[in-house]
Amino acid sequence: MIAQLSGKLIYKCFEYLIVNVGGVGYQVQIPLSTVYKVPQNNSEITLHIYTHVREDVLQLFGFLTPEEKEIFQLLVGVSGVGPRLARNILSGIPVEELTEALSRGDQGRLNAIPGVGKKTAERLILELREKIPGVSLDKRLAPEGEADQVMDNVISALVNLGYKTEEAKKALDRISEDSKRDSNFEHLFKETLRLLAR
């Protein structure tokens, strides 16, 4: 599962970005709140990624902050709320305002978001009201968390190249822990690919 992407932004529109990572262009769906904050094309960018997988689709949803991603994950965990609606919700209301509305049980504010009807608003409040206070809007990823995400990204990239997940994991396990902790995506990807090519 891809958890984070770092690369060069080569295209952006109101619905998605294309990020070039090691020569591979990843299409990443984004909420409007992200569109207005991303840099210009050909700039370096890091996105926190939610990977949505079904039998017939694999979609990446990207966010500039881990807090937005965490809220998105809470939203898609609500009965009847899929990734598309969750993205629409984050497009229609700032994260801080959304968490406040959920904490207060402000159904009227939630109903004002396009695509959110009365029943959906009720479910959002019912299922998330107690979880929202646990979301920190100031926290950042710890270094060890970033290292884990780099390894997840390496495995995802290798799977995209046609290697099996278990095969990629075994190759990655052969690399020393110090090397995995200190390496960036590109170096770790090349090292793992070299082991697989033997």
Question: What is the per-residue pLDDT across 96-139, written as a single tens digit (0 to 9) for each?
Answer: 889 889 988 999 999 998 889 999 999 999 999 888 765 645 43
Residue range 143-196 in CATH 3.30.70: no
User: For 4-63, which CATH superfamily applies?
Assistant: Nucleic acid-binding proteins (2.40.50.140)
- 174: pLDDT strictly greater than 50: yes
pLDDT score at 138: 44
The domain spans of the chain are: 4-63, 66-134, 143-196
Mean pLDDT value across residues 12-23:
94
Which of these, 94, 112, 99, 113, lies nearest to 33 by C-alpha position?
94
Residue pLDDT, tens place only, 127-166: 998 887 656 454 333 344 556 667 777 777 777 677 788 8
Residue range 66-134 in CATH 1.10.150.20: yes
Query: What is the rounded (10 degree) CA torsion for 153, 159, 163, 167?
Result: 50
- 42: pLDDT strictly greater than 60: yes
